[in-house]
Amino acid sequence: MLIDVLDALVGAGCTPTVVSTAPIEDERVTDRATVTVDDRSLTTTVNARLAEGTPALVLMADLPLVGATDIHHLTDSDADITIAPGLGGGTNALVVRDPAFQVDYHGASYLDHRQAAAELGASVETVDSRRLATDIDEPADLAEVLIHGSGAAHDWLVEAGFELETSSGRVGVQRAE
Amino acid sequence: MLIDVLDALVGAGCTPTVVSTAPIEDERVTDRATVTVDDRSLTTTVNARLAEGTPALVLMADLPLVGATDIHHLTDSDADITIAPGLGGGTNALVVRDPAFQVDYHGASYLDHRQAAAELGASVETVDSRRLATDIDEPADLAEVLIHGSGAAHDWLVEAGFELETSSGRVGVQRAE
């Protein structure tokens, strides 16, 4: 999934930095991005990066459907804070142009980030995108990758024997024996 | 949810017909739309409507986040078939401009509809929208309405005592005792 996200970023002309809790030596990552190790919490780490400079684009690594077009939608916005919410109220992507803004990824962070922006008097734009909203948290989320994906995560699932399971209401996944 | 969908359609300048399995006398519906009773399966009913004339926009009633802008995104497309997929591979919205196209809502209908279009040589556009993708099937889906909604379904949930439940990973809902 990280490789798909990096492909989208590089395809959109960005020069990404991967912030990881452990070193990454996989060349598919290191060929596309600089890797920085930081084992603090997500919120603390992102706020430390924002303190180093804005504007900044903060993108989660579990968004295997994202494409370069989606990155442009985010970076083309002139708002002080641009948010692509995830399913369940998370913040999957964020463009911060106001240097005073700080993140808090706990709970329904989309609402908290809107509130924080309002308190700063910062303008907010919400990007409406299914691809940016689809973070992969639960096994059933893998169905989205099989249905809509075309990158590394999709190919890995297919090679590992995962396929759609359509017998119940909403489509899920199963792994071939 | 139906009222929210009708508000979006009317706001976009459409004159909607509600196809229902039973009569609807609620004035919030009849003031906004013509109601037609048809108790056949969804697939049979929609194909019968398409046979009466295209282009046609087919929108599910359980999309409480949809707005007039989203309707314009669908109807502005020149493609023979325009699809807004739902989560789990469903087809939440469809614009059919090719009179030979027929629907089949069983299973991962997004993929089946793409396949059917390809067999007809019909062009396909997929609309990438979280709001159009968010159909309300499961209790957890109600969190999306509380987070992002602003219409009748949102207001009903609030009045009925539903609130966000943020103690677990993905945000859910609970009803106040």
Per-residue model confidence as pLDDT tens digits over A108-125: 999 999 999 999 999 999
- For chain A, where are the E strands, in sequence order? 17-20, 34-37, 56-59, 81-85, 91-96, 124-126, 162-165, 172-175
Please check whether residue B148 is in contact with residue A112, taking contact to mean a CB–CB distance below 8 angstroms. no
SS3 content of chain B, % helix, strand, coil (to 5): 40, 20, 45
pLDDT number for residue B169: 63
Residues B170 and A1: their CA atoms lie apart, in Å, by 19
Cα distance between residue A96 and residue B78, in whole Å: 35
Segment B110-134 shows an average pLDDT of: 98
Residue B173: which pLDDT band, with cuts at 50, 70 and 90? confident
Dihedrals phi, psi of A123, to nearest 5 degrees: -75, 150
- Taking the CA atoms of chain B, what radius of gyration do you get in angstroms? 17
Q: Cβ-count burial of B161 within 10 angstroms (0-12 exposed, 13-18 middle, 19+ buried)?
A: exposed
Question: Are the CB atoms for A54 and A42 separated by under 8 Å?
Answer: no
Asked if pLDDT for residue B140 goes beyond 90, the answer is: no
CB–CB contact B169 A107 (8 Å): no
Chain B residues with CB under 8 Å of A147 CB are: 85, 89, 108, 110-111
- Name residues whose C-beta falls within 8 Å of residue A101's C-beta, 6 or more positions apart in sequence: A50, A54, A80, A81, A116, A117, A120, A122
> pLDDT category, A52, cuts 50, 70, 90?
very high
Bridge partners of B34, per DSSP, are B17
Report yes or no: B77 and B127 within 8 Å, Cβ to Cβ.
yes
Three-class secondary structure of residue A142 per DSSP: helix
Q: Which residue has the tokens 């069983």?
A: B106
ipTM for the complex?
A: 0.92
pLDDT (average), residues B128-142: 94
Higher pLDDT, B101 or A171: B101
The mean pLDDT value for B6-32 works out to 97
Nearest CA in chain B to A65: B128
- Residue A49 identity (one-letter amino acid): R
B166 touches chain A (CB under 8 A): yes
Tell me the mean pLDDT in the region B54-72: 97
**Cβ A117 vs Cβ A157: under 8 Å:** no
Cβ–Cβ contact A132 with B under 8 A: yes
For the cut 70, the answer to whether the pLDDT of residue A168 exceeds it is no
What confidence score (pLDDT) does residue A169 get? 63
Please state whether the peptide bond connecting residue B16 to the residue before it is cis, i.e. omega within 30 degrees of 0: no
Whether residues B137 and A166 touch (CB distance < 8 A) is answered with no
pTM of the model: 0.94
SS3 (DSSP) at A82: strand
Alpha-carbon torsion (B108, B111, B132, B26), positive or negative: negative
Residue B4 to residue A11: CA distance in whole angstroms: 38
- Contact call for residues A177 and A160 (beta carbons, < 8 A): no
Closest CB from B128, B137, B140 relative to A130: B128
| Whether pLDDT at A88 is above 70 | yes
User: Among B44, B143, A38, which Cα is nearest to B19's?
Assistant: B44
A28–chain B Cβ distance below 8 A for any pair: no
Yes or no: say if A111 and A142 are a contact pair by the CB < 8 Å rule: no
In chain B, which residue's Cα lies nearest the Cα of A84? B130
Chain B from 70 to 109: CB within 8 A of any A CB: 70, 85, 87-90, 107-108
Q: What is the mean pLDDT of residues B14-27?
A: 96
Closest CA to A132 of A18, A39, A25, A8: A8
Alpha carbon distance A132, A58 (integer Å): 12
- Mean pLDDT in chain A? 95
Selected residue with higher pLDDT from A66 and A166: A66
What is the reported pLDDT for A177? 59
| Residue in chain A lying closest to B132 (CA) | A130
Nearest to A105 by CA among B162, B166, B134, B143: B166
Non-local CB neighbours of B46 within 8 Å, separated by 6+ positions:
B19, B58, B103, B105
Helix A2-11 to helix A68-75 angle, to the nearest 10 degrees?
Answer: 60
**For B111, nearest residue in chain A (alpha carbons):** A147
Task: Give the pLDDT band of residue A67 (cuts 50, 70, 90).
Answer: very high
Interval A125-152: pLDDT, tens: 999 999 999 999 988 899 999 999 999 9
Percentage of residues of chain B with pLDDT beyond 90: 89
Give the range among A146-155, B75-84, B163-172 with minimum mean pLDDT. B163-172
How many residue contacts between A and B have a Cβ separation below 8 Å? 82
| CA A117 from centroid of its chain's CA atoms | 20
